[in-house]
């Protein structure tokens, strides 16, 4: 019996009204036709039907057709079945791109109620005509809708969908009536604004008074929940001419028509508000942002709370006099909610981190999936080796115990005793080597479990001065790079400090760049913006350091930065030299007796190797890792393990936890 060929189907309707129809253009009819077609051919097997409801065919930016393309690229699909060509797309360039993908994966498309063409010149000619006809029909329909809306506007009717806040849908189609509950709020917004209050101040006052936008329900059943009057909402209200009795459209400019609805404010009040908005807009706009019109991560960067992040500036300036720009959460800046996120970050730091990470990953073909897969394989090999070592050590210990028993039974036979001693020595040496290797394996497994320097499994050493690889790119070139590679970015910060923080950046790549980055790549990095230095260090899944990070962080601790172990040793030596008791020494030094006793007990518990290790510490960052309480715990373990504990503490990094 031959294996059946797998088929996927695709169905689409353009508007929500078509979902309720029962004719052949409805979703249900298309689905049934596709199923009947596949069932009538025993050599085919329908795997899934992808459905786009109320989606236009002007482009391929539709969720279901994107899912279908991903399924085709996964392999195993032989045919795509659809009702007609115009269900796939009504735009010629989108169709040719879709057809190219099908050809790359050797997939053919079948239309159940349309002409199926072949690859002959005449077939291609007919197909081009059909695509051009579908595109012409779409453009003609759009033009008819625009013309009809324009004529309706000229007659004073409201044609722009949901009525603005302060109005409700009237009984007749395309009419609106004043909402008596919200109208006083609209009047107060205009009055306060003309009296000199800022939109943010009005928003805060409304929030304190508990005034919210009431919930609204459309005729189709869709419900909009109540929400606070945010700064953005108030700005939109102030700019909306509907409240002055107009209907309007925005094409090349604002075109006003006298409306049939009742005005909430006078025309003079609305015009005065527009003049004031224009004045404030000139004061508010930052010259550099206005001139540039864009910033690198516009529309792609999100806060961990889900809101977009935008660029703003502070009153502080750099040494060269330029403004200090930083990314900040729009939900926080506009007081839309009590957002407690700490995601403000200097624009140049985040831009440099992202571009350096993209350049690093792209230049090495490193994939997040590759790193994760390699790490998991390495972890499995370590677990297997650990089990083998444990088993071997157990057997060796049994053999040594038996050999010792036999050694005691040998009596005065020197030849056998010497032979047994040599065997015991070799077994003991083998046991020592296995135990040392077991400790190394356990240490590596512990490091992997704690995500310790995961990139070392792929990368031998950290790179320095890597930030310079994108310095020669213009802003336009950087923007094209980000646009081509990045679909979405989400940043979160686990620290409450604004200068030194641990951050996580999730990079969701575009479909083309997913081959390099996988489904997403999570970058964990530290920043240090003290004195405006703009330092950063990527710590996972690979290690990447900006040029100035190492120079700043390699400052020696200096005399006052020595570890307290030096002072403790000096005090203990002085006490022994002068034959002083603890209480007498504590009184001379003006410190508590109990503290001096704890220092003495600590030094007695630490091994010589551990003490010398602490005395050799040179950097402030290293010294701060070894607190008194931690060293007391170290002093309570066997002396042979103390040095390893100190070394592990010195090399251990603390990574932020991932958030969605």
Three-state SS string over 331-357 comes to: HHHCCCCCCCCCCCEEHHHHHHHHHHH
For 178, phi and psi rounded to 5 degrees?
-70, 135
52 contacts: CB under 8 Å, gap ≥ 6: 10, 11, 12, 13, 62, 63, 64, 65
Distance CA 256, CA 55 (A): 30
Quick one: pLDDT at residue 360?
67
- Phi/psi of residue 357, each to 5°? -65, -45
CB 297 within 8 A of CB 479: no
DSSP string, 19-87: GG--STTSHHHHHHHHHHHHHT-TTEEEEEEEEESS--SSSS--HHHHHHHHHHHHS-EEEEEES-HHH
Taking every pair of Cα atoms in the chain, the longest distance, rounded to a whole number of angstroms, is: 123
Higher pLDDT, 108 or 433: 108
The packing angle between helices 564-577 and 608-615, to 10°, is 120
- Coil, helix or strand for 383? helix
pLDDT at position 7 is: 92
Over the stretch 623-649, which tens digit does the pLDDT of each residue have?
Answer: 777 888 888 888 888 888 888 888 888
> pLDDT band at residue 22, thresholds of 50, 70 and 90?
very low
What's the mean pLDDT in 188-203? 88
From 428, 477, 464, 446, select the one nearest 549 (Cα to Cα).
464
Confidence (pLDDT) at 220: 65
Does position 124 have pLDDT exceeding 60, yes or no?
yes
Which of 457 and 412 is assigned the larger pLDDT?
Answer: 412
Instruction: Say how far apart CA 47 and CA 77 lie, in whole Å.
Output: 9
pLDDT value of position 387: 82
> Is it the case that residue 508 has pLDDT exceeding 80?
yes
The tens digit of pLDDT for each residue in 327-357 reads 888 877 665 445 667 788 888 888 888 887 7
What distance in Å separates the CA atoms of residue 438 and residue 457, rounded to the nearest whole number? 19
How large a percentage of the chain has pLDDT more than 70? 75
Compute CA 406 distance to the chain's CA centroid, rounded to the nearest angstrom.
66
What percent of the chain has pLDDT above 90?
2
Contacts of 167 (CB under 8 A, 6+ apart): 158, 176, 177, 178, 179, 242, 261
Strands of the 309-317 sheet, one edge to the other? 309-317, 323-329, 345-346
Nearest 5°: CA angle at 451, between 448 and 454? 80
**Is the per-residue pLDDT at 43 higher than 80?**
yes
pLDDT beyond 80 at 424:
no
What is the mean pLDDT of the segment spanning 455-478?
A: 45
Residue 328 near residue 314 (C-beta atoms within 8 A): no
CA distance 605 to 406: 39
> For residue 554, how many other CB atoms are within 10 A of its CB?
10
Range of lowest pLDDT (276-280, 364-368, 435-439, 539-543): 364-368
Confidence check: pLDDT of 621 > 70 = no
Closest CA to 523 of 485, 559, 493: 493
- Phi-psi region at 655: left, alpha or beta (left = phi > 0; alpha = psi -120 to 50): beta
- pLDDT for 615 equals 80
Residue 34 bridge partners (DSSP): none
Instruction: Give the pLDDT mean for 108-125.
Output: 83
Residue range 459-470: mean pLDDT, rounded: 34
- C-alpha atoms less than 13 angstroms from C-alpha of 91 in its C-beta half-sphere: 10
Confidence of residue 556 (pLDDT cuts 50, 70, 90): very low
Token pair listed for 544? 């990447």
Please, are residues 38 and 46 in contact by the beta-carbon 8 Å criterion? yes
The token duo for 226 is: 């109540």
- Pairwise pLDDT comparison (516 vs 156), residue with the higher score: 156
Taking alpha carbons only, the member of 323, 253, 320, 318 closest to residue 295 is 323
Query: Do residues 32 and 49 lie in contact, with contact meaning Cβ atoms separated by under 8 Å?
Result: no
- Give pLDDT, residue 80: 92
CA distance 255 to 249: 5
Asked if 138 contacts 129 with a C-beta cutoff of 8 angstroms, the reply is no
Band of pLDDT at residue 430, cut at 50, 70 and 90: confident
What is the end-to-end Cα distance of the chain in Å, rounded? 48
Mean pLDDT over 456-483 rounds to: 51
Cα dist from 182 to 13, 198, 375, whole Å: 37, 20, 59
Q: Are 102 and 108 in contact (CB under 8 A)?
A: yes
113 in Cβ contact with 66 (< 8 Å):
no
Buried b (16+ CB within 10 A) or exposed e, 199-234: beebbbebbeeebebeebeeeeeeeeeeebbbbebb
Q: How confident is the model at residue 652 (pLDDT cuts 50, 70, 90)?
A: low
Between 321 and 254, where is the model more confident?
254
Higher pLDDT, 234 or 369: 234
- What confidence tens digit (pLDDT) does each residue in 610-620 have? 888 888 775 55
The pLDDT assigned to 175 comes to: 86
Residue 301 β-bridge partners: 489
What pLDDT score was predicted for residue 325? 84
Q: Over the chain, what is the mean pLDDT?
A: 76
With 70 as the cut, is the pLDDT of residue 487 above it? yes
Report whether 214 contacts 226 (CB < 8 A). yes
Question: pLDDT at residue 558 above 50?
Answer: no
The predicted pLDDT at position 619 comes to 52
**What pLDDT, on a 0 to 100 scale, did the predictor assign at position 467?**
37
What is 65-77 written as a DSSP string? HHHHHHHHHHS-E
pLDDT at 473: 63
Cα torsion 83, 89, 93, 98: sign: negative
Report d(CA 40, CA 485) in Å as an integer: 44
- The confidence score (pLDDT) of residue 149 equals 84
Q: What is the pLDDT of residues 126-154, one digit of tens each?
A: 878 887 887 788 788 888 888 888 888 88
Bridge partners, 431 (sequence order): none
Range with the largest mean pLDDT of 315-324, 369-378, 497-506: 497-506
pLDDT in tens, 216-244: 777 666 777 888 888 888 888 998 899 88
Between 289 and 229, whose confidence is greater?
229
Residue owning tokens 């002409």:
115
Of 20-24, 77-81, 494-498, where does the model show the most confidence? Answer: 77-81
């Amino acid at each position: 019996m031959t294996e059946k060929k797998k088929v996927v189907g695709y169905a689409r309707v353009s508007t929500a009204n078509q979902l309720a129809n029962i004719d052949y253009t409805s979703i249900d009819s298309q689905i049934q036709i596709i199923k009947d077609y596949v069932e009538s051919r025993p050599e085919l097997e329908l795997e899934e039907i992808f459905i786009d409801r109320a989606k236009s065919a002007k482009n391929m930016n539709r969720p279901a057709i994107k899912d279908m393309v991903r399924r085709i690229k996964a392999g195993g699909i032989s045919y795509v079945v659809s009702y007609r060509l115009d269900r796939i797309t009504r735009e010629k360039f989108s169709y040719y791109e879709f057809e190219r993908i099908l050809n790359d994966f050797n997939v053919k498309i079948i239309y159940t109620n349309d002409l199926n063409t072949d690859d002959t010149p005449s077939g291609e000619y007919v197909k081009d005509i059909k695509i051009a006809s579908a595109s012409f029909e779409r453009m003609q329909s759009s033009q008819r809708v625009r013309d009809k809306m324009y004529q309706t506007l000229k007659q004073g009717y409201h044609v722009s969908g949901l009525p603005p806040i302060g109005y409700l849908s009237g009984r007749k189609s395309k009419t609106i009536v004043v909402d008596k509950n919200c109208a006083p709020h609209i009047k107060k917004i205009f009055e306060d604004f003309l009296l000199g209050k800022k939109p943010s101040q009005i928003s805060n006052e409304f929030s304190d008074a508990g005034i919210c936008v009431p919930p609204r329900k459309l005729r189709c059943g869709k419900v909009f929940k109540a929400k606070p009057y945010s700064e953005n909402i108030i700005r939109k209200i102030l700019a909306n001419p509907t409240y002055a009795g107009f209907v309007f459209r925005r094409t090349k400019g604002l075109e006003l028509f006298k409306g049939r609805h009742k005005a909430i404010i006078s025309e003079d009040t609305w015009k005065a508000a527009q003049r004031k908005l224009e004045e404030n807009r000139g004061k508010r706009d930052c010259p550099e942002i206005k001139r540039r019109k864009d910033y690198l991560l516009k529309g792609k960067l999100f806060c961990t709370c889900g809101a977009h992040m935008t660029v703003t500036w502070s009153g502080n300036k750099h040494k060269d006099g330029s403004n200090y720009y930083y990314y900040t959460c729009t939900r926080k800046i506009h007081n839309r909610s009590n957002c407690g996120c700490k995601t403000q970050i200097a624009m140049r730091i985040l831009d440099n981190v992202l571009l350096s990470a993209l350049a690093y990953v792209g230049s090495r073909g490193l994939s997040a999936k590759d790193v994760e897969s390699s790490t998991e394989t390495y972890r499995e090999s370590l677990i297997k080796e650990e089990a083998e070592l444990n088993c071997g050590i157990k057997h060796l210990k049994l053999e040594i115990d038996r050999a010792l028993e036999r050694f005691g039974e040998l009596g005065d036979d020197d030849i056998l005793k010497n032979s047994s001693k040599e065997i015991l020595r070799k077994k003991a040496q083998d046991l020592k080597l296995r135990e040392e290797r077991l400790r190394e394996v356990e240490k590596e497994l512990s490091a992997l479990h704690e995500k310790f320097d995961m990139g070392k499994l792929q990368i031998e050493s950290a790179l320095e001065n890597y930030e310079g690889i994108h310095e020669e790119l213009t802003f336009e070139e950087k923007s094209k790079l980000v646009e081509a590679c990045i679909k979405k970015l989400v940043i979160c910060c686990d620290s409450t400090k604004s200068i030194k923080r641990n951050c996580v950046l999730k990079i969701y790549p575009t479909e083309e760049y997913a081959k390099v980055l996988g489904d997403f790549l999570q970058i964990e990095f530290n920043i240090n913006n003290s004195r405006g230095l703009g330092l950063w260090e990527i710590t996972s899944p690979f290690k990447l350091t900006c040029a100035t990070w190492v120079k700043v962080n390699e400052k020696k601790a200096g005399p006052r930065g020595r570890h307290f172990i030096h002072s403790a040793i000096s005090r203990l030596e002085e006490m022994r030299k002068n034959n002083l008791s603890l209480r007498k020494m504590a009184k001379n030094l003006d410190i508590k007796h109990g503290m001096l006793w704890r220092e003495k007990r600590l030094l007695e518990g630490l091994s010589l190797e551990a003490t010398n290790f602490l005395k050799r510490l040179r950097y402030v960052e290293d010294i701060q890792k070894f607190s008194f309480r931690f060293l007391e715990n170290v002093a309570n373990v066997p002396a042979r393990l103390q040095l390893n504990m100190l070394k592990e503490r010195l090399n251990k990094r603390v990574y932020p936890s991932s958030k969605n």
